[in-house]
Structure 1
């Protein structure tokens, strides 16, 4: 775990960061040889973690779990962390890739529908001249066998990537990072989800296919979150308390 304070939001530790602080911490990991993964979460991630112990563990054992939604930021301010700011997956990707170009870090893109990670790499290469991409792969949309998991891990490790970008659905994404972190050689694994579609110019297509599912999730989770957060005040936890 990193040395960043967290705010306990219904059992999930949300890192006290803004965009610049998140990039600074990720840079430190690479400079010092630490290996961590990054989650981006919001109300839906917190509420799903209340129902799923392994997902909650994945969020809490990350190097950073950044506040992907404004509700997480408000919880942080309420807990006494006024410098906390929203860090979305798409924004985090752009910020870290800008630093990657400066430092010469290499990137591997894992996830998304067939063809999306390659499209993403092309678009980002145009946006960030000099960006070093060492691989892109879209896994099958079905449970993988142990042999397939091992082969994918070997492929990623063989690329020598410094940054492994993961674009899988939540909570599959967080579980995958937590399960594979120990076997992945890349210093930093970042779960950015829909940032793949967003930066591959597929935002309209991805939103067109899922508004009802998203609305149902928000209608279920948001009222429940507001009720529970009123009863359990967010609490600031320093690194020594974790």
Structure 2
């Protein structure tokens, strides 16, 4: 049974950032919700500078990004690059788009079940509990943490194929979540699949998002580094991205 929702909107405009596509829309939530409502399979990629640099070194990841139905400009570096190329666009944080989808799924109830996969043991389960307190009509079809055995992984795949959830949120980190989705999306061809990184931790109350003024000034990455100082090596992708972007713009 299909959810009731708006008709599918026009195809998004596509732009290229260092060889990778970015889809430009005025309302990502409405466009993606229309596909979710009609059971049109979609893989959502939340592109930022770090993922862009990883894709340079990981051709499989690059191919997955190019083949995805929706690539949103999640990172400040992507937005700044677009603006330097004359595209005045606002950032679309992946966590906010996922929240919009959950709110829409709650309106459709049992006809649009949701599955959470990823995070440390207990984190996704707590996120589910918090969401169901906010949205009692949200139909959660299953929740599994990201630290499971090979046997449990096989059971997870069987469960997805049997239950056919319509919205599948995967929090395994980049690029693991993108690779996992690409390998398994055939199990639920009508579903919307989205890698959401550490969003389960935020929804569970274990971590917090950066203050709005930091996000407005493209400094959310600095707050994340403050929370997780071990990420400093990965953050080196930011100046790498900036140098490559400037070199391409000059060319």
**Aligned residue number for residue 201 of structure 1:** 205
**Aligned residue number for residue 238 of structure 1:** none
Of 88, 102, 105, the match for 1:100: 105
Partner deviation per Cα, 1:40-71 (whole Å, 9 max, x = no partner): 12110111111111111111111111111121
Q: Does 1:64 find its partner at 2:80?
A: no
Seen in structure 2, the aligned counterparts of structure 1 residues 23 and 136 have a Cα distance that, compared at 3 Å, is: same
Seen in structure 2, the aligned counterparts of structure 1 residues 11 and 149 have a Cα distance that, compared at 3 Å, is: farther
Of 3, 6, 12, the match for 2:11: 3
CA distance in 1, matches of 2:71, 2:14: 9
Residues 119-158 of structure 1 mapped to structure 2, 5 A cutoff = 119-140=126-147, 145=150, 149-158=153-162
Unaligned runs of 5+ in 2: 1-9, 209-223
Q: How many residues align?
A: 224
Shift of 1:208: 9.4
Unaligned runs of 5+ in 1: 235-242
Of 42, 48, 53, the match for 1:42: 48
Which TM-score applies when normalising by structure 1? 0.83
Residues 175-214 of structure 1 mapped to structure 2, 5 A cutoff = 175-203=179-207, 211-214=228-231
Partner deviation per Cα, 1:15-39 (whole Å, 9 max, x = no partner): 2135xx2212222223443211111
**Aligned residue number for residue 96 of structure 2:** 91
Shift of 1:161: 1.3
Q: Give the secondary-structure state (helix, strand or coil) at the position aligned to 1:232.
A: helix
Q: Does 1:52 find its partner at 2:97?
A: no
Q: Does 1:232 find its partner at 2:248?
A: yes
CA distance in 2, matches of 1:33, 1:92: 18
Verify the 8 A CA contact 1:111 1:166 in the aligned structure 2. yes
Greater alpha carbon shift after TM alignment, 9-18 vs 220-229: 9-18
- Select the structure with the greater relative contact order (CA < 8 A; seq sep ≥ 6): 1
CA distance in 1, matches of 2:30, 2:129: 26
Seen in structure 2, the aligned counterparts of structure 1 residues 208 and 201 have a Cα distance that, compared at 3 Å, is: farther
Q: Give the secondary-structure state (helix, strand or coil) at the position aligned to 1:177.
A: helix
CA distance in 2, matches of 1:85, 1:100: 24
CA distance in 1, matches of 2:227, 2:37: 40
Verify the 8 A CA contact 2:36 2:167 in the aligned structure 1. no
